[in-house]
Structure 1
Amino acid sequence: MKSLGSIRRSFAPWADPAAVPYIAFEGVTKTFGAFAAVNNLSLTIYEREFFALLGASGCGKSTLLRMLAGFEEPTAGRILLEGEDLRGIPPYRRPVNMMFQSYALFPHMSVEANIAFGLRQDGMPKAAIAERVAEMLKLVKLEPFARRKPHQLSGGQRQRVALARSLAKRPKVLLLDEPLGALDKKLREETQFELMDLQQELGLTFVVVTHDQEEAMTMADRIAVMDRGEVIQVATPAEIYEAPSSRFVADFVGTVNMFEGTVAERSDAGVVIAEAGGMRLRAAEGGAAGPGDTVWFAIRPEKVRVSAARPPEAGNAVEGEVWDIAYLGDVTVYHIRLDDGRIVKATAINSRRVVEDALTWHDRAWVSFAADAGVVLTR
């Protein structure tokens, strides 16, 4: 049996020109009065993909999910599943199922009755229902809790019941709306990996809506970052983080330092940016930016080094004062205040058991980073 890592590493149908999308949003718009919740959006999702819609509240991600589920109809555009236009098909006739953030369990029913509810509504024979419920209980590891009511379960167990009920009808696509929002941090992290394993085991297409960047980065094969009803960038988690297409994506996903300036030179070695604070930054790649263009150099805190002395051959270095320090156990976060008042964030891995850092508050310190450690953005 292949490991999950082997499967995920080789899975990339979006890179195959011959691959046919499983789900397609074509110029979809959804308006509520004068407000456009989704604005002329086009997006493709592939079979067996774990796809995440990531964005802040009000960006349109849940509306998009509800249109795919059939709870809302597009004002304009088409939604296709396996090439079939879903317009006019009611939710209960679509080969999709939705797991809601609130779980929406029936409080008066046992775990097994909650899982069986949709099967009974479809008129499945009793013996087949019992067999399917037993299969779902085993799948989500809840066999000992079959007779309990929802109020007798923990938050994580209720989440598993809702998941089992969503999967019981064997949909082609499972839609998850903020599925882990009610769980505590540790349980949420554990459940993320369980969902990934389950998705691979079942061979289904999962579409998850979340505002949690870490959740999307952990679980998804690809992420669509949304803002104001539009998709800003669609890419793998690594591409979203390391090669954001805009300042919005760079700032929304993770933490970032942003230096604004003008391209002063361009050569085979990259670009030199005359930074607004007086620095001259060297970037190994300048993208499409040319001399005189306004650009932003974005660099993640873990790629910034902090030291008491200026490091030799740093590429880019600037001096400042240690303004804040946050010790998080595995890492230490430094906020270095430059002489012009700006703050640069740096993250250092605590690889040794040292109680006190060499650098402390109000020390003079250098922040430095390589020319290829960041990305040049033009918008």
Structure 2
Amino acid sequence: MASAQKSLGNIRRSFEPWNEPSETPLIAFDGVTKRFGRFKAVDDLSLAIYRREFHALLGPSGCGKSTLLRIMAGFEEPSEGDVRLDGQSLLGMPPHRRPVNMMFQSYALFPHMDVAANIAFGLKQDGMAKSEREDRVAEMLKLVKLDGFASRKPQQLSGGQQQRVALARSLAKRPKVLLLDEPLGALDKKLREETQFELMDLQQEMHLTFLIVTHDQEEAMTMADRISVMRDGRIVQVATPEIIYEAPATRYVADFIGSVNILEGAVEDSRNGMTRIAAKAGATIEAESGLDMTPGETVFFAIRPEKLRLSRRAPADEQLNALRGEVWDIAYLGDMTLFNVKLASGDIVRAATLNAARGSDEPIGYDEEVWLTFPADAGIVLGR
């Protein structure tokens, strides 16, 4: 009997329309290119996003993610390619006619209007009757937990409350897609974390499709059903947060998402789903790998700090999946402790240990000799 395939992470919700052949995308970017002079901000990009999906465009500044969002909103037209929403091309359609709404990082609230008027602004522009507008505003205020704040001005609200007003205004017209451009960037860390979960709950409650642009990896990992990692105007990997983190497709993705150790080496042997690597760091690594590799080929072994076991005691086999070094730096973060370990080769490898107990009888200190060990399935082998 075949064993079940190992899961790469906990299942947040059983929602995978991208794996269903019968499902059609709600949003389709088809060969989209956007040029500004000779510079390509978006380069021949194709992407499918599905109904009720919370999708994140993640990447560093200048990678093209905000340009792609502006193309979707209608603030930019693509130089080439097509953008379709529910099967209909959006090319040439002005922003106000598109069934999408955009929430900006700055919130863009009208300071002379109270909260209710800010939320009702788009509805009034569309000619909605006053009584219906008032009902919709009350519904939105309840949704974002701002009952009783209708008559306040934006300057009388905290940053988090202003963010909720901007969200309520964006949702009031009940768009098919809500576009979020770094929406939480102005909030402090604790409030940002709380708001991430509120946005997730709200998105599922309203059965909407959210497309968010962010450079914050933790934000994307927390909220998104899938993440598109972007680089130089292209998408380098589209996958769930679990796959992006545990099975990155390239060294760039592995290095960009979270903290990772990347060890270069040469293949000694590769067969039966296992690859043996002679690492330049001075160790022999045996790892699970689905790649077809030839002896002598240069490869990279990526392993997350929390996958490494840190110990003063030497392992039974010091030659395999074991690194010896000296503690160089220690960072205590409360929930975990980070150790930078300097190997004899000069490489610095980072290990993380969970502080499950309030104290330790024998804490590891600076300059101590330690061993870092890991099982064959702890990391991933990547090509050039």
Does the alignment reach a TM-score above 0.5?
A: yes
Contact kept in structure 1, 2:32 and 2:42, CA below 8 Å: yes
1:80 to partner: Cα distance = 0.5
Is the alpha carbon distance of 1:62 and 1:307 closer, same or farther for their aligned partners in structure 2, counting shifts above 3 Å? same
Q: CA deviation at 1:359?
A: 1.1
Gaps of 5+ in 2: 1-9
Structure 1 unaligned spans of 5+: 1-5
Choose from 82, 96, 99 the match for 1:95: 99
Match of residue 4 from structure 2 = none
SS in 1 for 2:13: helix
The DSSP-based 3-state class of the residue aligned with 1:265 is strand
Deviations 1:174-228 (A, max 9, x none): 0000010000000000000000000000000000000000000000000000011
Aligned with 1:327 (options 329, 332, 338): 332
Query: Which residue matches 1:37?
Result: 41
Instruction: Output the CA distance in 1 between the equivalents of 2:52 and 2:164.
Output: 21
Q: Which whole-Å CA distance do the structure 2 matches of 1:262 and 1:234 have between them?
A: 28
Deviations 1:120-155 (A, max 9, x none): 111111000000000000000111211111111000
Instruction: Within 5 Å, give how 1:224-239 maps onto structure 2.
Output: 224-239=228-243
In the TM superposition, what is the alpha-carbon distance from 1:7 to its structure 2 partner?
9.6
Question: Secondary structure in 2 aligned to 1:218?
Answer: helix
- In 1, the alpha carbon distance for the partners of 2:152 and 2:250 equals 49
* Maintained 8 Å contact 2:270/2:292: no
Alignment of 1:5-16 (within 5 A): 8-16=12-20
* Higher alpha-carbon deviation: 262-271 or 46-55: 262-271
User: What amino acid sits opposite 1:47 in the alignment?
Assistant: R
Alignment of 1:297 onto 2:337: no
| Structure 2 residue aligned with 1:3 | none
What does 1:145-156 align with in structure 2 at a 5 Å threshold? Answer: 145-156=149-160
Write the letter of the residue equivalent to 2:134: A
Paired position in structure 2 for 1:168: 172
Structure 1: how far apart are the matches of 2:11 and 2:288?
Answer: 33
How far apart are 1:106 and its partner, in Å?
0.3
The amino acid that maps onto 1:115 is I
In the alignment, is residue 306 of structure 1 matched against residue 313 of structure 2?
no
Residue-by-residue CA offset, 1:22-68 (whole Å, 9 max, x unaligned): 10000000000011000000000000000000001110000000000
Normalising by structure 1, we get a TM-score of: 0.96
Q: Given the superposition, is the C-alpha separation of residues 179 and 10 from structure 1 closer, same or farther in structure 2, using an over 3 Å criterion?
A: same
Distance across 2 between alignment mates of 1:178 and 1:347: 29
- Please report how far the alpha carbon of residue 262 of structure 1 lies from its aligned counterpart in structure 2 after TM superposition: 1.1
What is the distance in 2 between the residues matched to 1:269 and 1:137?
55
Is 1:138 the equivalent of 2:142?
A: yes
Give the distance between the partners of 2:18 and 2:12, measured in 1 at CA. 13
How many angstroms does 1:285 deviate by? 1.7
The amino acid that maps onto 1:359 is I
Aligned partner of residue 231 in structure 1, secondary structure:
strand
Which residue is equivalent to 1:270? Answer: 274
Verify: 1:318 aligned to 2:323, yes or no: yes
Give the deviation of 1:329 after TM superposition.
1.0
Matched to 2:345, the amino acid is: D
Deviations 1:332-351 (A, max 9, x none): 10000001111000000011
Q: Does 1:217 align with 2:227?
A: no
**How many aligned positions are there?**
374
SS of corresponding position for 1:9:
coil
Change (3 A) 1:154 1:357: farther
- 1:366 aligns with 371
Deviates more, 1:311-320 or 1:274-283: 311-320
Identity of paired residues, percent? 65
Contact 2:57 2:227 in 1 (8 A): yes
Deviations 1:275-300 (A, max 9, x none): 12332211122523232221100000
* Structure 2 residue aligned with 1:128: 132
Q: Distance in 1 between matches of 2:339 and 2:175?
A: 48
Cα offset for 1:270?
A: 0.4
Residue 264 (structure 2) aligns with: 260
| Aligned-partner residue type, residue 208 of structure 2 | L
Instruction: Kindly indicate whether the alpha-carbon contact (under 8 Å) linking 2:260 and 2:305 is maintained by their aligned counterparts in 1.
Output: yes
- The amino acid of 1:341's aligned partner reads G
Letter aligned with residue 343 of structure 1 = I
- Which residue type is aligned with residue 210 of structure 2? F
Determine if contact 2:281/2:343 at 8 Å carries over to the other structure.
no
